[in-house]
Amino acid sequence: MTTPKSTITITDVAKAAGVSKSAVSYALNGKPGVSDDTRAKVLDVARAMGWRPNSAAKSLSDAHTRSIGVVLLVADAENFGSGAYEMDCLAGLSKVLDSRDYSITLRMSAGGAKAACRIHEDWIASGKVDAHLVLNVALGDPRMALFRSHPEAKALFVAPREISGGLPTLYSSDSDGSRLLVRHLHDLGHRTIARIAGPEEYAHTLVRDRGAADECARLGMRCTTLHGPYLASAGAQLCDTLLDFGERPTAIICDTDVTAVAALRTAAARGVRVPEDLSVISWDDSPSCLSTLPELTSLHCDVKAIGRKAGEMLLRLIDGESVEAEPEDPYTLMVRSSTAPVLVP
Amino acid sequence: MTTPKSTITITDVAKAAGVSKSAVSYALNGKPGVSDDTRAKVLDVARAMGWRPNSAAKSLSDAHTRSIGVVLLVADAENFGSGAYEMDCLAGLSKVLDSRDYSITLRMSAGGAKAACRIHEDWIASGKVDAHLVLNVALGDPRMALFRSHPEAKALFVAPREISGGLPTLYSSDSDGSRLLVRHLHDLGHRTIARIAGPEEYAHTLVRDRGAADECARLGMRCTTLHGPYLASAGAQLCDTLLDFGERPTAIICDTDVTAVAALRTAAARGVRVPEDLSVISWDDSPSCLSTLPELTSLHCDVKAIGRKAGEMLLRLIDGESVEAEPEDPYTLMVRSSTAPVLVP
DNA sequence: CTGAAAGCGCTTACAG
DNA sequence: CTGAAAGCGCTTACAG
């Protein structure tokens, strides 16, 4: 029946419906300029013939590619984590984009932010995408300079607002998250804590550092912070360091699930009981936080929601609306069994 | 200097270089039809002006969009796993595509394979992509029927060769993997084993079932297989069932890291020592296999290599070469501490 | 309301 | 080797 002939164009439809190409175009795009009768007939014929607008032709004539460009950094597998964050973010993004028939144009770059710049530049010059989404922004990230010098390009940064000044930004409340964790430990009676934080190149690491430091100062707590990549080996090593340290902390906050799981395991291997002797908290509430014994108290972030909100902001950007900095949803603390009141000696 | 004017077209370059548009096109595309001098001058001018071919225009005229369409299924978060597989696969794919200036056009569908079909159909009719990559293929997957009825569309399936008959396929050696695991346990003296397998809708689950059953039969071993989603809760429950079972197995093979970690934890909670009382093996050698105590013996698969090979096959498909079924690289067994010789009672 | 025409930026036979 | 011209499929002022 509807055997899709090689390619059906608007001309074929016009011929079949007995009208002009322009009438078909108006009808198909719901624009005025055709009578209701003509419109109905054209729609019927187009559907019957299985017509779909040719993507390239449409893009060329209306200057919209209907795609959002995303360059994922996979360079340093070390800092990349499992990719679960990016995946969830893309899932949320894709969901919002669907409604407007937008797709994601994806590249994965092993060359870091600089190589990503090259790709973005290419996309800008070739008109390959309508807007860019920038994730995993580092301090002094060249991608910020790039888009500052290309105001004609539309880009949204997911980054701490502290560093993306001026650029359209979806910013996290990493600082608030940090404070929330410190308060949770304070409520449990902890006074000497530590953090196994992420690499210092990351802007969000510094924001978390700041939040924790401020809240500790306010509450009169002591906090030792060690930085390292999001690797199990690093988490284990840093945990060892903290446990060997003179003034042993009664609680450790880990910046990611990978290091938290490693810390848990390191403690177990040394005979340090969690949560009796040591409380452990993880950022990134992921399935692995539920697979440990004890289950990990974790800071939950709805990453899909970030993707959705990013999608909405990007579409507004594309529609020519002005977009400034907007906040992500706040974090939620998932209290499980890896944190407990500190034992009075 | 090279201030990128709004948009630089081939016409601008032609004017600046004092030649015709066609000369510019020939020069830029390395085609014959221009003298070396003209070519050199055109290239210089184009570079100086920061010209890049307009993506849509090029696609429209040469019928190549330079993008590969991928629809990721996120419908049932239950069976989706962490998304790490998809991420690695895309990373490998992207790497190969880079060299030919191809991008990935990505959509994530929450409606399963049927909704994915709709997207692929749209891509076929609109000429949005040059070829399609199909992952996570289920038994009787409607996407196979779709591409069978659209021989004009180019698609590569990553699926067991048993089910994709005729279609271009990159097939895994799941059966061989299964056999490898069984042999490893046999070598350690295990004779009564069990499997916590994935959902039976998945073709690869059945292939693994078959491989394990055949090898067990050959070696005179007994194997109980339970199926369930790739969820920690399911892994825990199935592990409980197996341990409560009359004839308790001395080893369990889990189809994914999530269930393996859950099984490990369940054993620990019941006081069943791993590996002394029970050996545990995981498919999907992932970072989490290294975060457990003991570390998990696991079947390693170079997923990025799958992505790369898929990319090469897709490019050949696009180039008009014929592509049939080709095998992935074989699995590697990573022997760690969760498997040990069975203790003679 | 409707049709003929030009244009989006590039490629590619086709005559000079 | 080089230029003028038509065409890819769609959109959009512009005359009827």
Per-residue model confidence as pLDDT tens digits over A192-246: 999 999 999 888 899 999 999 999 999 999 999 999 998 889 999 999 999 998 8
Tens of pLDDT, residues A75-117: 655 445 567 889 999 999 999 999 999 999 999 998 999 999 9
Residues of chain A with pLDDT > 90, as a percent, come to 72
Tens of pLDDT, residues A125-159: 999 999 999 998 988 999 999 999 999 999 999 99
Hey, is the C-beta of A145 within 8 angstroms of any chain B C-beta? no
Q: Which of A16-20, A92-96, B12-16 has the highest mean pLDDT?
A: A92-96
Q: Are B289 and B281 in contact (CB under 8 A)?
A: no
Name the closest residue on chain B to residue A128, using Cα atoms.
B55
Mean pLDDT, range B115-126, rounded to an integer: 96
Strand (E) or helix (H) holding A266: helix A257-269
The DSSP 8-state label assigned to residue A281 in this structure reads: E
Q: Are A168 and A313 in contact (CB under 8 A)?
A: yes
State how far the Cα of B275 lies from the Cα of B251, in Å rounded to an integer: 9
Strand (E) or helix (H) holding B288: none
Tens of pLDDT, residues A156-178: 999 998 888 889 999 988 999 99
Q: Are B219 and B193 in contact (CB under 8 A)?
A: no
Q: Which of residues 191-250 of A touch B (CB under 8 A)?
A: 231-232
Looking at residue B171, its pLDDT comes to 95
A-to-B residue pairs, Cβ atoms closer than 8 angstroms: 148
Q: Which nucleotide is nearest to A21 (CA to C1')?
A: C3
* Token representation of residue B116: 């994915």
Cβ-based contacts of A91 with chain B (< 8 Å):
72, 74, 108
For the purposes of burial, counting CB atoms within 10 Å of the CB of B2, is it exposed (0-12), middle (13-18) or buried (19 or more)? exposed
Q: Which among B300, B227, B271 has a CA at the least distance from the CA of B78?
A: B227
Which residues fall within 8 angstroms of residue B39, CB to CB, at 6 or more apart? B26, B27
Confidence band for A6, pLDDT divided at 50, 70 and 90: low
Cβ-based contacts of A107 with chain B (< 8 Å):
94, 98, 103-104
- Strand C nucleotides, any atom under 7 Å from protein beta carbons: they are 1-14
Which residues fall within 8 angstroms of residue A312, CB to CB, at 6 or more apart? A96
Cβ-based contacts of A291 with chain B (< 8 Å):
232, 258, 261-262, 265, 288
Asked if pLDDT for residue B1 goes beyond 50, the answer is: no
User: Is there contact between B9 and strand D, defined as CB under 7 Å from any strand atom?
Assistant: no
Average pLDDT score over chain A: 91
* Token representation of residue A19: 């009208």
Looking at residue A81, its pLDDT comes to 58
Least trusted range by pLDDT, from A249-263, B27-41, B244-258, B319-333: B27-41
Looking at residue A75, its pLDDT comes to 60
Cβ-based contacts of A90 with chain B (< 8 Å):
106, 108
Q: Is B325 in a helix, a strand, or coil?
A: strand
Strand (E) or helix (H) holding B183: helix B174-187
Q: Do A50 and B125 touch (CB under 8 A)?
A: yes
State how far the Cα of A333 lies from the Cα of A184, in Å rounded to an integer: 9
The ranges of chain A annotated as CATH 3.40.50.2300 are 67-172+303-327, 174-300
Asked if pLDDT for residue A3 goes beyond 70, the answer is: no
Q: Are B72 and B135 in contact (CB under 8 A)?
A: yes
Looking at residue A164, its pLDDT comes to 86
Mutate which: B103, B120, B135, vs A, most A CBs within 10 A: B103
Looking at residue B75, its pLDDT comes to 60
Return left, alpha or beta for B50; rule: phi > 0 is left, psi -120 to 50 is alpha, else beta. Answer: left
Looking at residue B205, its pLDDT comes to 93
Q: Is A253 in a helix, a strand, or coil?
A: strand
Asked if pLDDT for residue B266 goes beyond 50, the answer is: yes
Average pLDDT score over chain B: 91
Q: Which among B309, B303, B302, B315 has a CA at the least distance from the CA of B103?
A: B315
Residues of chain B with pLDDT > 70, as a percent, come to 95
Q: Do A106 and B106 touch (CB under 8 A)?
A: yes
Least trusted range by pLDDT, from A66-80, B121-135, B152-166, B292-306: A66-80
Task: Give me the phi and psi of B104, to 5 degrees please.
Answer: -100, 130
Tens of pLDDT, residues B179-232: 999 999 999 999 999 999 999 988 889 999 999 999 999 999 999 999 999 888
The DSSP 8-state label assigned to residue A291 in this structure reads: S
Q: Are A314 and A133 in contact (CB under 8 A)?
A: yes
Looking at residue A293, its pLDDT comes to 85
Per residue in A8-28, is it b (16+ CB within 10 Å) or e — as a string? bebebbbebbebeeebbbbbb
Cis peptide before A229 (omega within 30 of 0): no
Name the closest residue on chain B to residue A122, using Cα atoms.
B52
Looking at residue B4, its pLDDT comes to 42
For the purposes of burial, counting CB atoms within 10 Å of the CB of B345, is it exposed (0-12), middle (13-18) or buried (19 or more)? exposed
Tens of pLDDT, residues A234-273: 999 999 999 998 889 999 999 999 899 999 999 999 999 9
| CATH code at B10-53 | 1.10.260.40
Strand (E) or helix (H) holding B251: strand B251-254
> What is the C-alpha R_g of chain A?
26
Q: Which among A118, A144, A126 has a CA at the least distance from the CA of A63?
A: A126
Looking at residue A5, its pLDDT comes to 47
Q: Which nucleotide is nearest to B29 (CA to C1')?
A: C11
Residues of chain B with pLDDT > 90, as a percent, come to 72
State how far the Cα of B198 lies from the Cα of B296, in Å rounded to an integer: 18
Closest CB from B4, B108, B293 relative to A269: B293
Looking at residue B131, its pLDDT comes to 98
* Token representation of residue A36: 């209701």
Q: Which CATH number applies to A174-300: 3.40.50.720, 3.40.50.2300, 3.40.390.10, 3.40.190.10?
A: 3.40.50.2300
Give the strands of the sheet with B222-227, arranged side by side: B222-227, B192-197, B251-254, B279-283, B297-300, B332-334
Hey, is the C-beta of B57 within 8 angstroms of any chain A C-beta? yes
State how far the Cα of B318 lies from the Cα of B124, in Å rounded to an integer: 14
Closest CB from B56, B84, B122 relative to A60: B56
Tens of pLDDT, residues B83-114: 788 999 999 999 999 999 999 999 999 899 99
The length of chain A, given as a count of residues:
345
Superfamily of domain B67-172+303-327 in the CATH hierarchy: Response regulator (3.40.50.2300)
The DSSP 8-state label assigned to residue B202 in this structure reads: B
Cβ-based contacts of B98 with chain A (< 8 Å):
107
Q: Is the dihedral of CA B83, B89, B95, B98 positive or negative?
A: negative
Tens of pLDDT, residues B55-81: 999 999 999 999 999 999 986 554 455
Looking at residue A202, its pLDDT comes to 85
Asked if pLDDT for residue B27 goes beyond 70, the answer is: yes
Confidence band for A36, pLDDT divided at 50, 70 and 90: confident
Helix axes B174-187, B203-219, angle to 10 degrees: 40
- Strand D nucleotides, any atom under 7 Å from protein beta carbons: they are 1-14
Q: Which of A285-294, A304-313, B41-50 has the highest mean pLDDT?
A: A304-313
Q: How far is the CA of A304 from the C1' of D10 (A)?
A: 35
Per residue in A162-181, is it b (16+ CB within 10 Å) or e — as a string? bbbeebbbbbbbbbebbbbb
Q: Are A42 and A78 in contact (CB under 8 A)?
A: no
State how far the Cα of A134 lies from the Cα of A152, in Å rounded to an integer: 16
State how far the Cα of A296 lies from the Cα of B225, in Å rounded to an integer: 30
Q: For residue A194, which amino acid is it? A: A
State how far the Cα of B259 lies from the Cα of B267, in Å rounded to an integer: 12
